[in-house]
Chains A and B, each alone.
Chain A
Amino acid sequence: MINLQELHDAILKGNAKAAKTVTEQALAEGHEPLKLVQEYMMPAMDEVGRRFECNEYFVPELLLAARAMKAALELLRPLLAARGNQPVGRVAIGTVKGDLHDIGKNLVASMLEGGGYEVIDLGVNVTAEQFIAAIKDKNVNIVAMSALLTTTMPSMKATIDALKLAGVRDQVKVIIGGAPITEKFAQEIGADGFSESAAGAVAAAKKVMA
């Protein structure tokens, strides 16, 4: 009999191979996929997030944990879908037009994946049209925008305005982030949520979807 705590620990320690092996064994023993996610995997990622916030973990440990989570999820996703379980949310993420910075954006993408979201990464220098296409074609319910330059911040407002013009604004929640971004700016441009840090992005996504 597999000790399911090993799945929790494998994710906590960032051991993708062990996470995958334990998941395979757990499924072979007939454990419910949703139970594995809710009782072992998500709590592991919550603990990873806590340790990162408390400066016990650095980003490499956090990303290794997210990779381990992803490795296990890849085995579970088809089974969850077959049982009618949807991902927590579907996010289109990108750095806005004119901006090439992507480290923060990549980190948020990894954390959202670790948090159970399906992430469509549009990359950098992303136009409003690309975000709109993702909403229409990929059925996303969250748009996450990143900007690191004060000169590209205006692209965030331009994108939100374009979503309205395209008639898709009401289909999504918009969260924004990046070094020069403030809550005030987020409110001014009509975003639904804002995160001061990559670590806070999952909480911001949960908040806007509540």
Chain B
Amino acid sequence: MTFRELTIAKPADLLFGVAPKPLTTRRGMTLGGGLVYPELNFTLPPMFVDATTMPEVRRNYQQIITGAMQRAVELEAPGVVVEFETLPPMTENPEWGIELTRILLDGMEDAHAKHGLKSVLRITPNDTREMERPPRMRSGKLYEAMLQTFDGCAAAGAELLSIESVGGKEIHDEALMMGDIRGVIFALCVLGVRDMRFLWTELNRIAIKRGVYCAGDTACAFGNTAMVLAEQKMIPRVFAAVVRAVTAVRTLVGYECGAVGPGKDCGYENPILKAITGFPMAMEGKTSACAHLSPLGNIAAATCDTWSNESVQNIKLLGGMAPTCYMEQLIYDCRLMNQALADGRDHALLYRKWLVNSDAGLDPQAYVLTPENVIVIAQAIVSAPTPLAGGKAAALAAIGLLCDGQKDGRLKIHPREMPWLDRMRKTVEAIPANETEFISEMMAVVDTTKFTAGDYDL
């Protein structure tokens, strides 16, 4: 599938809870069909995961799902998305990941049988390909085990397949640290795009075979790494904002290869993908502070179809076990959004306005994600003939938006960051339009020992 025009072309149509192409799950939850659903994500407390600790691991996941579903029942949630993000040992040993998937599904089934609570499971195996350096992206034990985990978990009943894939990260990390937008575009729009196409073609085969959905990928290892570095004042926020815009080019490939949403929660670029594809999207914001801080706490909810907490450890807080506490927080946030939807479009748009305006002027990364600016960036991407052209167009669109916003007083940019905008613009404009020429230039300067060129068809 190729997206040559926007599915959502008007900013006012980019709204939480509503997607032009909603997805209905086996239990009858329609994601993007007029309600926002909570999406709970969790992980273990500090502990090793190996054969000797598996009894404790099982006990943890049992406790997580029982407590969280109980709270969802008590708060009368209309439905719940549960995301199981595996830890590397669970992906390297597929039988562990599959067994834990079954434990979660049993807990979800129990809540449905006793209380009618609808739910759906998203399985997100680690991209364990990167555990070898340089990574082997298309073959090898790690890759095979990862696919086995997907297949087995889907067969067990996980309906939504996701991953935070890392193709291109070998070069992107260095590009971030050096403030190198050329390296960023090479990593995302040449390397990343190629790996996404390979990987999501394989995942789509599994989804078709098992009668489940490819949900979507995220440029977490790229855009969120940039965001966290910016939050720690290590790189400019304007740089992270431009990186965010470019990440959408890479994430889009998953949908071109058959993914149908909901896009994965940590893809803060998801509003751009929603505008392009019309598929429902998960988002995370303030309720993901348990996992990482961000300048996007409110605005992230503006266009979400499921609302997530990213990841919380199974530890005891004063209110109860942390996953249970976060289930409550997510449900309350969703209630508010759903009440706004129930009161009518104007009320929903007003609430969206508050979510957007409370963040947009304070950080460039929020500014590029306003509905109006999302449409501009998304249009730039679909109007481009190639992923490389799309990356350049997204970057230049973001830079232009940031400059205009600062000039008009709608966005605060720290003076020491301002020179970066012009520097990035000149660098991006100088990138050759011809991909072969760009690849040749970049292969002469990147550290080619860090990745396997053949795995990227180079």
Contacts and interface: CB of A to CB of B under 8 A. Distances in A.
Interface of A: 55-56, 58-60, 63-64, 98, 100, 102-103, 106-107, 123-125, 150-151, 153-155, 180, 197
A58 B235 contact: yes
A98 B89 contact: yes
B416 A154 contact: no
Contact of A55 (B88, B173, B229, B233): B233
A106 B416 contact: no
B260 to A, nearest CB: 29
Interface of B: 43-49, 87-89, 130-131, 133, 173-174, 176-180, 225, 229, 232-236, 313, 416
Given A58-B233, A59-B234, A151-B44, A107 B88 contact: no
Given A103-B225, A125-B131, A60 B46 contact: no
A6 B235 CA distance: 27
Contacts of B236: 58
A106 B176 CA distance: 12
A63 B229 CA distance: 14
A106 B177 contact: yes
B88 A98 contact: yes
B131 A151 contact: no
Nearest to B292: A179
A63 B179 CA distance: 10
Given A56-B416, A106-B173, A150 B46 contact: yes
B46 A154 contact: yes
Most buried by B among A64, A100, A102, A154: A100
Contacts of B44: 151
Nearest to B48: A154
Contacts of B130: 100
Q: From DSSP, what is the main secondary structure of chain B's interface residues?
A: loop
A124 to B, nearest CB: 7
A153 B177 contact: no
B178 A151 contact: no
B47 to A, nearest CB: 6
Contacts of B177: 59-60, 63, 103, 106-107
Given A103-B225, A103-B229, A150-B45, A60 B173 contact: no
Given A58-B233, A58-B235, A58-B236, A103 B176 contact: yes
Contacts of A153: 46
B179 A150 contact: no
A116 B177 CA distance: 21
A10 B322 CA distance: 51
B233 A151 contact: no
Q: What are the 3 tightest A-B residue pairs by CB atom distance, in nearest-first order? A: A60-B179, A150-B46, A59-B234
A14 B313 CA distance: 41
A153 B45 CA distance: 11
A107 B176 CA distance: 11
A150 B233 contact: no
Contacts of B131: 100, 124-125
Contacts of B173: 102-103, 106
A190 B261 CA distance: 47
Contacts of A124: 131, 133
A137 B89 CA distance: 30
B87 to A, nearest CB: 6
A56 B87 CA distance: 38
A64 B178 CA distance: 8
Contacts of B46: 150-151, 153-154, 180
